[in-house]
Amino acid sequence: MLTIIVLTIVVFIALYLYGTRTFNYWKIRGVKHDRPYAFVGNNFRQFVQKSSLAMTATELYKKYPNEKVVGYYRSSTPELIIRDPDIAKRIVSTDFEHFYARGLHPDKTVTEPILKNLFFLDGDLWRLLRQRFTPVFSTGKLKAMFPLITERAEKLQQLAEEVAHLDFYDMRELMARYTTDFIGACGFGINMDSLSSENSEFRKLGKRIFQRTPRDALRGAMKFMFPELCNNVHLLAPEIEESIRHLVLSVLKEKNYKPSGRNDFIDLLLELREQGDMVGESIEKRNEDGTPIVINQALDIDLMVAQVFVFFGAGFETSSSASSYLLHQLAFNPNCQVKVQEEMDKVMLEYDDKLTYDAVKEMTYLEMAFNEGLRMYPPVAFIYRECKSSKYTIPEIDLTIDEGVKIMIPTQAIHNDEKYFDDPGKFDPERFNPENKQNRKYIYMPFGEGPRACVGARLGQMQAMAGVAAILHKFSVEPAACSVRNPAPEPTAIVAESFVGGLPVKLKKRIK
């Protein structure tokens, strides 16, 4: 009996030591931080779905107003929250070669096939994909895609007509149906029917990608707490990967694995594949003389499926978040809404009442309002990086960190800091007029900055602005009885942010 008691005590001590093994990291470096707890670190509330990562980062950002950096432990992994724009610039741009890894995945290398995409990948494969994909989002390609946006925007107006008689409708859901439908046409060359039915299979898939179930939360927590034991545990639910893979393979088979001339995303992937292996200089490996080695990688089916997954997920979610939040703000700021509509009416007259690429580009006040919405609530609320150098010193604060330390730049918190934006809680598009727009870099980063900035940012912006223009050209938005001016953030959100209860507003037919 005594032996069992002693063994139990030894096991508990060993577990405790394992669960707290890194907790002196920030203390010995003089970095302020909250007290961490065994196994969970400072991340307990996120693990139990009471706080999103963005909410946690914002809380710590506000808690230490006089610090340039704040320490944090996600489970036992030391992370660093950046509060200073100069250091942020260093991380994402100046010293990018030390921080090229996004580091979002808890494993040292991404093993899930569907996560081997531009957003999650690090290192050489990321660089090869980035170089190959950047031309896909050129101005010419965007203009070629825009008729698809126009077609979906007109269908969006029809749907708005159907729900305008209701006391309220969730703009988050309305705009997600629009963006999902567009991504279906632009990405796959198919009609996803999301605008015709909120219960369409594709809308359900889109919701599931960004839904964090208790199963997802448990698996994520286990991977961070016991990374060695859970190396082969997948973060994403199997049904997500199965659905995307089945969808892509079906479209590829229909196209006979060759470009069809539709100019959709899968066509572009097939065109890139026909160009042969991706070839480029390594960001990770060097020859003996210090020059980067040349690497190559085939764009195989698995990689194509992974890129389509991120195009689908990121393409509809971030744009729908940005556009719906802008409509929410305009409902509560009718003077700004009138300015958007007056400018829009004037521009549309010049283009025979048609939403075109050039028409949307001329809606400068709409763009100012869009940028202000992104300032107040960027859909992706933080920039994440991982140190890839054995030792790296941040010169501004003489702080040396080790390889593997994760870095978080809480963009949402920076965007709403009165140090950088006067009266940050006020919706004021004039902050982004041509005179005031200067010197915003590294304090305004809704699409990231540097070599890992969002490659599809312009497409997302055009899609979102066209959707808002389609709504406001025919309707006005105003608060409903259930609308909340400052909606509560969704604590179960993962990469993209959301709101508890959505963004309900009242649509009202315009009389011109």
At 195 the pLDDT is 47
Strand blocks (E) in 348-432: 383-386, 391-394, 399-402, 406-409
At 412 the pLDDT is 95
At 143 the pLDDT is 86
Give Cα 247 to chain centroid, integer Å. Answer: 23
Sign of the CA dihedral running 174, 180, 184, 187: positive
Q: Which helix (H) or strand (E) segment is 265 a member of?
A: helix 265-274
Cα distance between residue 503 and residue 169, in whole Å:
8
Cα distance between residue 316 and residue 309, in whole Å:
11
* Cα–Cα separations (whole angstroms), residue 62 to 55, 218, 427: 11, 28, 21
At 439 the pLDDT is 72
Cα distance between residue 308 and residue 264, in whole Å:
11
152, 195 Cβ separation under 8 angstroms: yes
At residue 466's C-alpha, the angle toward residues 154 and 491, to 5°, is 110
pLDDT in tens, the chain (512 residues): 767 776 777 777 777 777 788 899 999 999 999 999 988 889 989 888 898 889 999 999 999 999 999 999 998 889 999 999 999 999 999 999 999 998 877 666 667 788 888 888 888 999 999 988 888 788 888 888 888 888 888 889 998 999 999 999 999 989 988 888 888 777 776 665 544 555 566 666 766 766 677 777 777 777 677 776 767 777 777 888 888 888 888 888 888 888 887 777 888 888 888 888 889 888 888 888 878 888 888 899 899 999 888 888 777 788 889 999 999 999 999 999 999 999 999 999 999 988 999 999 999 999 999 999 999 999 999 999 999 988 999 999 999 999 999 999 999 999 999 999 999 999 999 999 987 766 788 999 999 999 999 988 998 899 999 999 999 999 999 999 999 999 999 888 877 788 999 999 999 998 86
* Cα–Cα separations (whole angstroms), residue 224 to 47, 77, 405, 474: 10, 8, 14, 49
DSSP state string for 18-37: HHTTTTTHHHHTT--BPPPB
Q: Cα-flanking dihedrals φ and ψ of residue 230, to 5°?
A: -110, 25
At residue 432's C-alpha, the angle toward residues 427 and 435, to 5°, is 135
Domains by residue range for the chain, with CATH:
2-509 (1.10.630.10)
Q: State in Å, rounded, how far the first CA of the chain is from the last one.
A: 87
Under DSSP, is residue 111 helix (H, G, I), strand (E, B) or coil? coil
* pTM for the predicted model, two decimal places: 0.90
At 194 the pLDDT is 47
Residue ranges of alpha helices (H) inside 428-502 are 457-474
Beta partners for residue 296, in sequence order = 279
454 is in an annotated binding site: yes
Q: Cα-flanking dihedrals φ and ψ of residue 489, to 5°?
A: -65, 150
180, 316 Cβ separation under 8 angstroms: yes
Under DSSP, is residue 499 helix (H, G, I), strand (E, B) or coil? strand
415, 444 Cβ separation under 8 angstroms: yes
Cα distance between residue 50 and residue 457, in whole Å:
30
